[in-house]
A and B are shown apart, each in its own frame.
Chain A
Amino acid sequence: MNRPYPLTIKMDNTQSFRFFNRGPSPVVRLVFFVVLSLLLMFVDTRYRYLESTRSVLSVLVSPIQRLATMPSILLQQAGSFFVTQQDLVNENKSLHQQHERDAAELSQQQSLQQENLHLRNLLALQQRNEFSAKFAEIIYAERDVFKRRVLINKGADANILAGQVVMDDVGIIGQITRVYPWLSEVTLITEKDHAVPVQVLRNGLRTVVFGAGDTSHLSLRYMPVSSDIQNGDELVTSGIDGVYPQGIPVARVEKIERDAAYPFARITCLPVAGVDKHRHLLILSALPKLPERPAEERAATDTGKGSKGKAKKLGAP
């Protein structure tokens, strides 16, 4: 039992020999690096100076991360190698049917579009903007319990800009929040407090849908108890924010709790798009153009431009 004690003293002696080349004591180092970390965090939350440093360091880290995605990709490829021909024939057939249905709808839509254009011309309204789409693939989901973000395989090299909208074949998935040289980060609509301006398809009621964060749910806040909303209502983007194009499906109302004790109803929605499912995504590259804001309003909001100005800038590039 006595043995450890003399041993520590002996080790302490050898340590004191090395005292010369050890530099500052651990406590000094601890304080220095804690203060440095706090400073970095402060700068990172308030300003955007560190984005270039981040993308430089990502060059160092991203090879390891790419390597880490290899096992699952190999597994998928091995799975696709052992698909039977019958499965492929069936899938091909169903895809053909889908294609024919879509083609019929598309031709209808084109004639409607023409008609709409004509009517809008007659009424001298602003034309709706068309948007083009780029394909991208999810490389990996971000490994942070707190966040709902994914990284995709297109970055600054493919002219991806922060603020562009990401969707799959059904509806909105999220928005690009950070662009690296070869990657970019997509914040999903289920991220906590991520807001998408929407309207109810049935009656045109405008509202904003928020991500719930810990689950893959969305919620509508600040809806009065008396508001006209029902289970199964579809929510589509309203397009008035200048970021999301109009009329893309976002979510479907799942559950409504109306409690007279609270001024607002608790409304839970499920995203329409496979937010947590698909690998292939579409990035909408041309953002809708909004008319310039009136001049006096700009002067009034000039002070808050650092944070709020981003949406405006993206709206009118």
Chain B
Amino acid sequence: MPHIAHANPEIQRPVSNIFIVLSVAVALFLNGLPWEGIWLMLRPDFVALVMLYWCVHKPLRIGIGLTWAVGILADVADASLFGQHALAYTLLAFGGVMLHHRLQMFDLRQQTTQVFGIFAVTYAAYVLVHWQVNGYVVWPYFLGCLTSTLLWAPLSTVLQTARQVRVSHPAKR
């Protein structure tokens, strides 16, 4: 019975590392779909959403360092400046880790307003770097911040249910 030995009373629902890696890979995949034109402007940043979810719900395992590393991968995927996504995601993870007590207590509607602030800071950091390097700002880029915020509640629900399925499954065995 390996799952009993693995079960830790301090962690209510154990989340396997594979599940976390898989969720990040799926987020990179969704970011990588061929978005174009206005859809690219409206595209939510799935990687940021997933990383924020893990920072809020598992702040002791997924922290600022790992989010920074995922940011570097996002930089390679988007061919942006090395460290541009990483910087934005560092701020995102910091917001998530600092606010995780509060966010875990709120319901989804209250969480959404808090999460909007975190995303706004993240997007602003990204745009600020771009403005410093290239000298111009594309304002519609901030639309992605709104769609990401709107997607927070659905994504939290999906990941929450996925985690429950994963936990209940070995218990049945």
Contact = CB atoms under 8 A, between A and B. Distances in A.
B81 A45 contact: yes
B82 A54 contact: yes
A8 B136 CA distance: 44
B19 interface: no
A263 B30 CA distance: 48
Contacts of A69: 32, 34
A12 B100 CA distance: 12
B86 to A, nearest CB: 5
A7 B34 contact: no
Given A50-B82, A61-B28, A45 B105 contact: no
Given A41-B129, A60-B73, A61-B76, A143 B31 contact: yes
Interface string B17-30: 00000000100111
B68 A37 contact: yes
B73 A30 contact: no
Nearest to A44: B82
A151 B76 CA distance: 13
A100 interface: no
B41 interface: yes
B87 interface: yes
B64 A145 contact: no
Interface string A34-50: 10111111011100001
Interface stretch (B90-98, B149-157, B165-173): B90-98
B5 interface: no
A12 B91 CA distance: 22
A141 B82 contact: no
Nearest to B76: A57
A26 B64 contact: yes
Contact of A141 (B36, B87, B91, B140): B36
Nearest to A57: B76
B90 A30 contact: yes
Query: What DSSP secondary structure best describes chain A's contact surface?
Result: helix
B83 A37 contact: yes
Nearest to B33: A68
Interface string B92-124: 001001100100010000000000000000000
A8 B99 CA distance: 12
Contacts of B33: 68, 71
B29 A68 contact: yes
Interface in A60-103: 60-61, 64-65, 67-69, 71-72
Contacts of B82: 40-41, 43-44, 50, 53-54
A178 interface: yes
25 contacts: A7-B105, A26-B64, A30-B64, A30-B90, A33-B86, A33-B90, A37-B84, A37-B87, A37-B90, A38-B83, A40-B86, A41-B81, A41-B83, A44-B82, A53-B82, A60-B76, A64-B32, A65-B32, A68-B29, A68-B30, A68-B32, A140-B32, A144-B79, A144-B80, A192-B136
